Amino acid sequence: MKLEERMLRSVKQRTGNVILRAEIARLGSASQVTEALKSLQAKGVLVRIGTGVYAKTRKSSVTGATIPAGSLETLATEALKKLGVTVRTSKAAAAYNSGITTQLPGAFVANTGGRRIRRKIAVGGRSVVYENDYGQATAGA
């Protein structure tokens, strides 16, 4: 069985829509995995949303085109969770949800707490914006 076939079987059996390269790296050498991932992207099975981060695809019910199997918000949250990053509600979304403001947040902003992140995750031309609490003084200090 070719590596591409084994990888396709592995992708289809996984729950969730995000696959990290590190999760499938054990299936072959680095160059073999790279070629198999390129082949699966060309066939429309996977789409790359970041460095070492891939998403499953589905057919659009409207256009019939191959699109990622989730929105930026769901895919980014799942990817960051797999990478060990805790994502909280952004400050703008928290203000809207609590009724402080009526302005809807325009972009997906991931609050990573005290952790600084520069990883780019993009789906359909939209990318994740990060905010954190790094370096902000607490009221009691």
The identity of residue 110, as a single letter, is: A
pLDDT confidence of residue 141:
47
Q: Which segments of the chain are extended strands (E)?
A: 18-20, 46-50, 53-59, 66-68, 109-111, 122-123, 126-127, 129-131
Check if the beta carbon of residue 54 is closer than 8 Å to that of residue 47.
Answer: yes
**Distances, alpha carbon 114 to alpha carbons 12, 50, 84, 121, in Å:** 35, 22, 13, 19
For residue 105, is pLDDT > 90? no
Q: What is the pTM assigned to this prediction?
A: 0.84
Report how far Cα 70 is from the mean position of its chain's Cα atoms. 9
Q: For residues 47 and 17, is the Cβ–Cβ distance under 8 A?
A: no
Q: What pLDDT score does 136 carry?
A: 61
pLDDT tens digit string along 24-81?
999 999 999 999 999 999 999 999 999 999 999 999 889 988 999 999 999 999 999 9
Q: What is the pLDDT, as a whole number, of residue 58? A: 93
